[in-house]
Amino acid sequence: MPSPRTLYDKIIDRHRVMPLNDIEGPGEQLLLYVDRTVLNEYTSPQAFSGLREAGRTVWRPEGALGVVDHVNSTAPDRTAIAPDADAQRQIDYFARNGRDFGIEMYDVLHPRQGVEHVVLPELGWVVPGLVIAAGDSHTTTYGAFGSVGFGIGTSDIEHLLATQTLPYTRLKSMRVTIDGTVAPGVTAKDMIMAVIRAIGAAGAHGHALELAGDAVRALGIEGRMTICNMAVECGARVALIEPDEAVIDYLSGRPKAPKGELLEQARRVWADLRSDDGARFDREVHIDAADIAPMVTWGTSPDQALPIDGAIPDPAALPAAERQDAERAIAYMGLTPGMALEAVTIDRAFIGSCTNARLTDLRAAAEILKGRKVAPGVRAMISPGSSTVRREAEAEGLDAIFTAAGFEWRQSGCSLCLAMNDDVLAPGERCASSTNRNFEGRQGSGGRTHLMSPAMVAAAAVSGHLADVRRMPLP
């Protein structure tokens, strides 16, 4: 009788082409078949140049999809021509690569353009049991569907395009179980920020992280994507949630999803995509959902986070291993130990990114903004996760709520998440942000980022300072 296996090991076993060493379990090196990849204009150019120099073709063009998202403008009236000449060269070369190698590409004016990790799921192109590798670390997002997704570098992209395989090292397995029910005002973003705070920014390093428990199963698919997306911020190379009927419902009717008899066949194949009873995890962590509050980061690492009713920590009171990093973070962020988080004023508010710019995120923020105005002195902007999300939000009238409140209603792209276009913080500006990283300079040199959920960004925008969404009565 075979030994119980984790969901991660089952998927890797199904995609093993051949072993590359004699190790069994974590540390095994193997040649891994990769089902799909998504390409962007920023991390793929060198891979295509390498293919050209070597005279190679793309092994399976239909297994790749390209989306312009990193450097494009998000201006409401943007055109096909980027305002920045270097950005335009990257976009033009990306389009040429699609034409020359037979890969479908969504340019900046394509009706389905958007942030890659928002676009692929809404197409129905991410289904359970796949291996998806791409040149972006937040490829972990696809774990929400029970697929192994992970980020790769440029040379790996070239190898993948040429062979549809990658040399791969099997990871250790870790499971975080969040049981119970979250309180009102607590979102998927707060759940994953609480996990990162609990285990640290390197807490899942070297592991495939499976997320389980009542609170995770209760999330919609978009919330599950938020959790898997940010799992990389605690070092997880892969994040996974067991697929269930909610995944099937989400896929139903999407343009690239299986349909009819093909879907029924797939459903039978997906039926055993779960960790077996008795499967061994190298590490287990349990968190009570009732202990999670709306979260906000105070420092320059995603694990430097606290419940919104907390205060900036005193480095002297922290464990010695954390003290130096805390002192540097507090200095960079321009804060004072003991200062209440809700006393921290902001200059900017941003809702966007592959973490939190889907339709449910926009609805949650709009609920807070309805009938309210952005505080004087705060510049607030929203970049929907995709052009599809933007259209759907407009059909519901959400754009009118955002603009009436004083938010800029922009086009889709990575935007202020990583400041590769003209959406950039000025030195010293402080931003309440629904994004995924608060590193020094992430949103612009000298910019200061506080991560939180979209509803918390909306609460901060109308308050002019970090604010507790639980104390914002809905109209």
Annotated binding site: 354, 414, 417
> At CA 362, angle to CA 232 and CA 375, rounded to 5?
105
Give CA–CA dist 262/257, Å, rounded.
10
Exposed / middle / buried, residue 205 (Cβ in 10 Å: 0-12, 13-18, 19+): middle
3-state secondary structure of 95: helix
Annotated binding residues for [4Fe-4S] cluster, written as ranges, equal: 354, 414, 417
Residue 356 · residue 332 · CB < 8 Å: no
Contacts of 143 (CB under 8 A, 6+ apart): 149, 211, 228, 231, 238, 239, 240, 241
Structure tokens given for 410: 């922009």
- Beta carbons within 8 Å of 291's beta carbon, 6+ residues apart: 194
Taking the C-alpha atoms of residue 365 and residue 117, their distance in angstroms, rounded to an integer, is 20
Q: Tell me, what DSSP letter sits at residue 374? A: P
Q: Which residues are CB-contacts of 297 (< 8 A; sequence separation ≥ 6)?
A: 193, 304, 305, 438, 449, 450, 451, 452
Instruction: Using alpha carbons, select from 221, 138, 129, 216 the residue that is nearest to residue 176.
Output: 216
Which amino acid does the sequence have at 38?
V
Amino acid of residue 435: T
CA distance 464 to 474: 18
Contacts of 342 (CB under 8 A, 6+ apart): 308, 309, 465, 466, 467, 468
- How many CB atoms within 10 Å of residue 280? 14
CA angle 25, 140, 158 (to 5 degrees): 85
Please state whether beta strands 305-307 and 148-151 pair in parallel, antiparallel, or not at all (unpaired). unpaired
How does DSSP classify residue 114? B
Torsion sign over Cα 220, 226, 227, 228: positive
| Burial tier of 265 (Cβ tally within 10 Å: 0-12, 13-18, 19+) | exposed
